[in-house]
Structure 1
Amino acid sequence: MSNPTSQSFPPTLSRPSFLDEVLEAVMDHPLCKTHQLDRLAVVLPSHRAMSKLRRGLMNRLTGPARLPQFYALSGFIEASSPWTAADPLEVLVRLHQVVGTSEDALPFDRFVPWAKVVLDDFAAVDHELADVGKVFQNLADIQGIEDWSFGEETWSEDQKAFERQWRRLPELYAKLHASLGQDGLATRAHLTRKLAEGEGLLDVDHVLA
């Protein structure tokens, strides 16, 4: 018989802790009632939380039982996807290749800070599951290009190239992800988007997150 004092986690301000609430949700889940907890995936914020919840469940369960599949968020995303999260430097290189060496290409010393802003915008679009074309339709204005204190007729060639690249963002977004996808790669934000849109591969009946 399990020790009653070890069945819950320390409360905060006399309220159940987060892990207590997760533990109760697992114990009350239909898959627990049918002794099929191995068909349940539980997503937690850290490996430490996973270890604590695993111990809590072992204290609560009676008799032999398979535990749920535990994942930290980043691990869950990758385990659920046929793609691998690309290294940020690889993503930067791929974007540089996609931009190419046309007349619109920025000098490399200006490309890097520009690319970091662009990749942050791409990630935000994916996290929000937003329509890429609509979001980037007026992104040049959002980024403040219109606030330059001189008219377009006075822009330097670099500034004109900079503005043209902003106008190409929907195209660059599509080409970047196509380039990564050919090698089984994706940005972490794009992995999250694909999972949210139902392209996951995890073999479970329910995800508790």
Structure 2
Amino acid sequence: MNSFLHQVARHIKEKYGKDLAHVAVVFPNKRAALFLNQALAQLSDGPLWSPAYITISELFRNHSDLTVADPILTIAELHKSYVKITGRNESFEQFYPWGQLLLSDYDDIDKNLVDAQKVFRNLRDYHEYDDVEFLDEEQRAMLKRFFAHFVDDNSLLQHRFLELWSHLYDIYVDFRQRLRGQGLAYEGMLYRDVAEQQHLDFQHTHYLFVGFNMVHPVEQRLFTLLKKQGKAAFYWDFDNFYLGEESALFIRQYLTLFPNEFDNNDRSLYDNYSRRKDITFMAAPTESIQAHYVTEWLREHDRIAAGNRTAIVMCDEHLLPTIIHCIPPEVERYNVTTGYPLSETPVAALIELLMAFRDNGYVKRQNAYRLHDINLLLRHPYSLLLSPQVP
């Protein structure tokens, strides 16, 4: 049975031929490009001019003069706007968790092309928000930590919450102006700017949107523009089992607005849910045992030889370092798509040891450092790089 991307590759080759230099294939993320390129190579009996592979994010960024800022820098600029508009002096550390939520809200507003002023209308105009009882305990606790100095009184919490809400649109406007003045943007802001432009100069003749199943309104607007110019084709990724469900409302809309290049009733593509699957359940009392089972699992049924057709999917990404250590030595190459957390690197471990040594290693009354803390530092593998004399 051929995969979805193999079918896409076959269709591209049949429709556009071997010279694909004028074609751009747009994916939701970067991962799929590798497999589509391999499928095109397998189907070709000679040299093939590869299409351009870009993500939807890159497509938007290529048509903007703005640059998406680093997340911490973005929230730092948001904090400046918050302090300016509200006159409050919450520290950046205190503001940061709320800043993340607020940035996420602003990003959603722009990606959904919503009128921000209407969204952030004063909550006092809404009867259902006459109090803060609609917030759960965790959300109320976060509010209290953010607003700090007040007693456990919902009326005061309500007052401070409404006061903050009444400023959110002004913060939104000032924040966007502040970023734009530096040539920066958050992703939703950049997307909206591009989608609202009257004229866009598209570099390629054909744009093939492959593997999408969730599309923001701002992306739909770009799809519509390319479709009107006769430059867009769509290869949707969905399953027929869900099409009759309420949750598939948007998929049905997408298929109507942006018709699929494939037959929506093709069972080989869109009937995966009902296809027989081979699933084995293994009981493991601890996460560590789960990770160590990877060694045995990979050595079974030629899974190592299967190469990129073998995948390890983690429910908890914190297991990644342990799983990496459990991959057997005969696996020469593997790809980590989640990224490797900086906090799990040897450098981070060394920094933690140095900080602990500074805070706890020195005994003032003895005017000496603890031998235990010294040994922990000396045993770190990077200590050899710092001093050749380390035993």
The two structures have a TM-score, normalised by structure 1, of 0.71
The 1-side partners of 2:14 and 2:120 are apart by: 45
1:17 paired to 2:3: yes
Cα separation, partners in 2 of 1:134 and 1:184, compared to 1, 3 Å: same
Q: Secondary structure at the match of 1:175?
A: helix
Partner residue, 2:102: 118
Partner residue, 1:85: 68
Out of 73-82 and 179-188, give the one that drifted further: 73-82
8 Å CA contact 1:106, 1:162 repeated in 2: no
The 1-side partners of 2:128 and 2:49 are apart by: 52
The 1-side partners of 2:128 and 2:7 are apart by: 42
8 Å CA contact 1:37, 1:67 repeated in 2: yes
Compute the displacement of 1:130 (Å): 1.4
Compute the displacement of 1:162 (Å): 4.5
Q: Secondary structure at the match of 2:37?
A: helix
Q: Secondary structure at the match of 1:100?
A: helix
Matches within 5 A, 1:1-209: 11=1, 17-29=3-15, 32-33=16-17, 37-61=20-44, 64-101=47-84, 104-105=87-88, 107-108=90-91, 110-138=94-122, 146-147=131-132, 150-151=154-155, 155=156, 160=159, 162-198=161-197, 202-209=202-209
Which consecutive residues of structure 2, in runs of 5 or more, have no partner in the other structure? 134-152, 210-391
The 2-side partners of 1:134 and 1:37 are apart by: 45
Q: Secondary structure at the match of 2:53?
A: strand
Which consecutive residues of structure 1, in runs of 5 or more, have no partner in the other structure? 1-10
8 Å CA contact 1:105, 1:161 repeated in 2: no
The 1-side partners of 2:208 and 2:185 are apart by: 24
Who wins on radius of gyration, i.e. which is larger? 2
8 Å CA contact 1:79, 1:202 repeated in 2: no
Compute the displacement of 1:193 (Å): 2.8
8 Å CA contact 1:98, 1:176 repeated in 2: yes
The 2-side partners of 1:184 and 1:201 are apart by: 20
Out of 165-174 and 76-85, give the one that drifted further: 76-85
Compute the displacement of 1:196 (Å): 3.5
Counterpart amino acid of residue 179 in structure 1: R
8 Å CA contact 2:83, 2:89 repeated in 1: no
8 Å CA contact 1:81, 1:200 repeated in 2: no
Q: After superposition, what is the alpha-carbon deviation per residue over 1:108-151, rounded to whole angstroms, capped at 9, x for unaligned? A: 25433332221111111122121212222256769967326654
The 2-side partners of 1:162 and 1:193 are apart by: 28
Counterpart amino acid of residue 42 in structure 1: V
8 Å CA contact 1:104, 1:164 repeated in 2: no
Query: Which of 1 and 2 has higher RCO (CA within 8 Å, sep 6+)?
Result: 1
8 Å CA contact 2:85, 2:170 repeated in 1: no
Out of 105-114 and 139-148, give the one that drifted further: 139-148
Counterpart amino acid of residue 191 in structure 1: L
The two structures have a TM-score, normalised by structure 2, of 0.41
Compute the displacement of 1:98 (Å): 1.3
The 1-side partners of 2:206 and 2:20 are apart by: 10
8 Å CA contact 2:63, 2:200 repeated in 1: yes
* CA root-mean-square deviation: 3.3
Compute the displacement of 1:38 (Å): 1.8
Counterpart amino acid of residue 20 in structure 1: H
Cα separation, partners in 2 of 1:166 and 1:21, compared to 1, 3 Å: farther
